[in-house]
Structure 1
Amino acid sequence: MSEKKIALEIKGLKVNYGAIQALKGIDLKVYEGDVVAILGANGAGKTTTLKKISGIIDGTEGSIQFYGREIIGEEPEKIAKMGISMSPEGRAVFRDLTVEENLKAGAFTQKDKKKIAETFERVYRYFPVLRERKNQVASTLSGGEQQMLAIGRALMSHPKVLLLDEPSLGLAPLIVQDIMKIVKEIKNEGTTVIIVEQNAAQTLKIADYGYVIELGNISTHGKAEVLANDPKLVEAYLGKH
């Protein structure tokens, strides 16, 4: 069997917000077709990592390579066109637009109408409720539906790598299970996924590999099933057994 390609590699990434060092030189590898979890407490640097991959923030040292191409310094739109798409924390759907208009907005990097139509079908297959609500204004959706819409919108650009920032935040446990199951389906259909989460237990069930960030450093990393059984991690993030 041929070796998996590295889709994304971060080396020595440092990010400062003024005098505060949010990331202190992290290294991270994401292989094509995997789900990689980035875990940690609030303020650890998880969201900063995703924002830097997307090109949303400046002020950095280090390297981020996407299929061997350096992307630090590239504009967010260019990074999106290369094949990296993000579903942000807090969903950030366009509240006054309909479900369908939100999804169309996500396809801004795509020119091929046939491909856009196919991706609509794919998103509606993952999230049938969005098809039912396609003419509804996004602000009238439940929190879970808005989260599904945010993920669907990120998928509309047909990304090679999908970044998910806290997709379970504020959602009921059953909805979280549904969303995690769909993330697994997205991965099984060939999209690489990087998922930032505080809900470590659910995330490690669907992830292949995980990294734990503490105060801007990676404190531990390994295969998801190994991390899920790590006593220190269990105590810190998974609740004491």
Structure 2
Amino acid sequence: MRKDMKTALSIKGLVVRYGAVEALKGIDIEVKEGEIVALLGANGAGKTSTLRTISGLVEPAEGSIMLYDEEIAGKEAEKVAGLGIAQSPEGRAVFRDFTVEENLKIGAFTLKDKQQIQKNFERVYKYFPVLEERKNQVASTLSGGEQQMLAIARALMSSPKVLLLDEPSLGLAPLIVQDIMNIVKEIRQEGTTIIIVEQNAAQTLKIADYAYLLELGQINTHGESEVLRNDPKLIEAYLGSH
């Protein structure tokens, strides 16, 4: 089934170094159009480095990153954003002194079409009605869950082809995590391809189509999420505590 789908993002032989430390040791990842692909693993496995390299915040030492037919490895972050990749960073990095609406406008900086920007406002307010209620509130006054929603909504404002989500459940109460995971599924159902980095493997495998498990900068295993959810080794290492 998966092999018949169009490839949205293809990573081959990706190496990332921070000085003498090799954070990624030649990984290969394939993301099909319209999928949710999960990158799982412990802290320091290379998950965030992968996302930051895709979005142009980190320059790879070696390897290729193809967005459809375009090579984006080593391009500046602004150019990558313009080509259709948006990232919701770890730690809910919203502009704390700006209002909700101002944060969302910043997310649409790559778009020139005012009608499209208006449509995107309507779309994110449909996913996150609480943000519309709080649109004139300063971001620092939002709860942790609302700030996470704002970070995702801001990334969506650029009409991305591929949305990168870095630890969207981090530090949130279980009910809020459930809400956010359901919204991620809805975003995918409307056609956006998603790569999600998470430590909460059990929750993520419920919504993902395919998953890669990273260990110390290498792919340990990968496969359909349903299969990985029933893998005894994975259950013991990552799913037992959830």
- Residues 152-191 of structure 1: matches in 2 within 5 Å? 152-191=153-192
Contact 2:60–2:73 (CA under 8 A) maintained in structure 1: no
Give the letter for the 1:94 counterpart.
F
Q: Deviations over 1:152-204 (max 9, x none)?
A: 00000000000000000000000000000000000000000000000000100
Alpha-carbon deviation of 1:3?
A: 2.9
Give the letter for the 2:168 counterpart.
P
Q: Deviations over 1:61-109 (max 9, x none)?
A: 0110110211112111111010000000001000000000000000000
Contact 2:14–2:60 (CA under 8 A) maintained in structure 1: no
Which residue matches 1:227?
Answer: 228
Distance 1:204 1:54, change over 3 A: same
Q: Does 1:238 align with 2:227?
A: no
Which residue matches 2:110?
Answer: 109
- Residues 84-233 of structure 1: matches in 2 within 5 Å? 84-233=85-234
Which residue matches 1:83?
Answer: 84
Give the letter for the 1:193 counterpart.
I
Q: Deviations over 1:102-153 (max 9, x none)?
A: 0000000000000000000000000000000000000000000000000000
| Bigger Cα displacement from structure 2, 64-73 vs 99-108 | 64-73
| Bigger Cα displacement from structure 2, 29-38 vs 69-78 | 69-78
RMSD: 1.3
Give the letter for the 1:127 counterpart.
F
Give the 4+ runs in structure 1 shifted more than 6 A.
Answer: none
Q: Secondary structure at the match of 1:24?
A: strand
Q: Secondary structure at the match of 1:136?
A: coil
**Number of residues of Structure 1 aligned to a counterpart in Structure 2:** 241
Unaligned runs of 5+ in 1: none
Please, what TM-score do these two structures have when normalized by structure 1?
0.98
Q: Distance in 2 between matches of 1:225 and 1:3?
A: 19
Q: Percent identity?
A: 75
Give the letter for the 2:16 counterpart.
V
Give the letter for the 1:57 counterpart.
V
Alpha-carbon deviation of 1:59?
A: 4.3
Contact 2:39–2:196 (CA under 8 A) maintained in structure 1: yes
Alpha-carbon deviation of 1:58?
A: 1.7
Alpha-carbon deviation of 1:240?
A: 6.0
Q: Distance in 1 between matches of 2:109 and 2:62?
A: 30
Q: Distance in 2 between matches of 1:186 and 1:26?
A: 27
Q: Deviations over 1:21-45 (max 9, x none)?
A: 0000000000000000000000100
Q: Distance in 2 between matches of 1:73 and 1:89?
A: 21
Q: Distance in 1 between matches of 2:77 and 2:10?
A: 18
Q: Secondary structure at the match of 1:62?
A: strand
Q: Distance in 2 between matches of 1:149 and 1:190?
A: 20
Q: Distance in 2 between matches of 1:95 and 1:10?
A: 34
Q: Secondary structure at the match of 1:134?
A: coil
Q: Secondary structure at the match of 2:4?
A: coil
Q: Secondary structure at the match of 1:30?
A: strand
Unaligned runs of 5+ in 2: none
Please, what TM-score do these two structures have when normalized by structure 2?
0.98
Give the letter for the 1:13 counterpart.
L
